[in-house]
Amino acid sequence: MSRALVIGEALIDIVERDGRISGEHVGGSPLNVAVGLSRLGRDVDFLTHIAQDDRGKRIVDYLKASGVQLVSGSLSAKRTPTALAVLDTTGQARYTFDIDWQLAGTPEVAPPLVAHTGSIATVLEPGCRATAALLDAYHLSATITFDPNVRPALITDDEAARGRIDRLIERADVVKASDEDLRWLDPRRDPEQVAKTWLSMGPSIVAVTMGDRGAFAMCAAGVVRIPARPVQVVDTVGAGDAFMTGLIDALWSRGLLGADRRRELARISTDALEQVLSTAVLASALTVARPGADLPDRVTLEATRD
C-alpha cells in the first residue's frame, strides 16, 4: 500500500480578529497537508511533536477523525505548540508562535511513496536537523516535497535559515513557495528569477503561488501559469497548504511519485504540469472560500473541476 509521510509541526491556532479571540483551531502547515491528503483518500503517516495535554488531545482527535495515522513518538513534547494568528481586515494572518520543535529516532513506518515537510520544522532548532536527516534517509524510496512557508517571527538567524532552506531545495524533487516567501529569502531578485535558480539546484518542479495573481510552475520543459480562480475570500489560512496538497495529489494520480519514478517526474511535460498546477490552484481556491484551514475532500475537488 502506497503511503505518504508528512514530517512537521502541529499546533493550535489562536485566532484574533478585531482585538478579540474568536476561537482556537488545529493548525500547522505540515499538519494541514497531512489532513488534506487524507481527505483526498490518500494513506498518510504524520510525524510531529505535541504534548499529551488538552490541546494535544484535540490535535490527536482531529487527525484521527481525518484518517491520518499519528506516528509513534509524536506525543513527547512538554506542551503543545500554539500560534496566535491576528487577522487584518482582508483576512490575512500575522503569527506569533510558542513552539518547541524536536524529533527523536526514526519513525516506525513503511518506506513512503512521498515524504513531505516544510515551514517551522525545517528551520527551528533542534528538530530541523533531524527533519533534514530523515529526508535524506527517505530519498531512497520517496519523492521529496518541500514548502519553506517562511515564518520570519521564528527565525533568529536569517542566513542560517536561508542555508537550511537551500540544502532542502537541493534534496527535494518538488518545491512549492509563495512569492512572499521568495521576497524574504532573496529580496534582490524577482520570484521568477529565484524559482529558476531553485530549479537548477535539483528539483524537477518548482511552483510559486502569487495570491490573487494565480501561480506559476517551472520544470525542465518550461514554465506554465494559471490565473487565480474568482472566489469570495473568507480568509487565507491554509491556502498554501491546500495548494501543496493539490500538487502532491495530482502528481500521485499521474503515477509520478516514488524514487523509481524520479526520471519520469524530471521529464514532465508542460501540458501535464499545467494540469497539475490547475488542481493545486483549485484546491487553494476552495480553501480560501471557507473559514480556517478547511481543505477540500475528493468529492468537493472533483465536483468543482471545469
The predicted-structure confidence for 259-288, as pLDDT tens digits, reads as follows: 999 999 999 999 999 999 999 999 998 887
Mean pLDDT of the chain: 92
- Is residue 147 pLDDT above 80, yes or no? yes
Q: CA 117, CA 27: separation in Å to the nearest integer?
A: 15
Q: What is the mean pLDDT of the segment spanning 247-254? A: 97
The predicted-structure confidence for 55-100, as pLDDT tens digits, reads as follows: 999 999 999 999 999 999 999 999 999 988 787 877 777 778 899 9
User: What pLDDT does 202 receive?
Assistant: 97
Q: What is the mean pLDDT of the segment spanning 245-249? A: 97
CB 241 within 8 A of CB 122: no
The pTM of the full predicted model, rounded to 2 decimals, is 0.93
Most confident stretch, 13-22, 208-217, 227-236: 208-217
Sign of the CA dihedral with 43 first, then 69, 298, and 212 last? negative
Number of domains into which the chain is organized: 1
E strands, 131-273, in order? 143-147, 174-178, 205-209, 215-219, 222-226
Q: If pLDDT is split at 50, 70 and 90, which confidence band does 306 have? A: low
Is the peptide bond prior to 126 cis by the omega test (within 30 degrees of 0)? yes
User: Distance from first CA to last CA of the chain, Å, rounded?
Assistant: 31
| Grid cell locating 12 | 493550535
- Is residue 292 pLDDT above 70, yes or no? no
User: What pLDDT does 43 receive?
Assistant: 97
User: What pLDDT does 219 receive?
Assistant: 98
Query: Can you give the CATH number for the domain in which 252 is found?
Result: 3.40.1190.20
Q: 117: which DSSP letter?
A: E
CB 150 within 8 A of CB 130: no
Q: If pLDDT is split at 50, 70 and 90, which confidence band does 305 have? A: confident
Alpha carbon 28 to chain centroid distance? 9
Q: What is the mean pLDDT of the segment spanning 154-179? A: 95
Spell out the residues 6+ positions from residue 290 whose beta carbon is closer than 8 angstroms to its own. 234
Question: Could you tell me the residue range of the domain that residue 293 belongs to?
Answer: 4-304
The predicted-structure confidence for 23-48, as pLDDT tens digits, reads as follows: 888 999 999 999 999 999 999 999 99
Q: What is the mean pLDDT of the segment spanning 217-237? A: 87
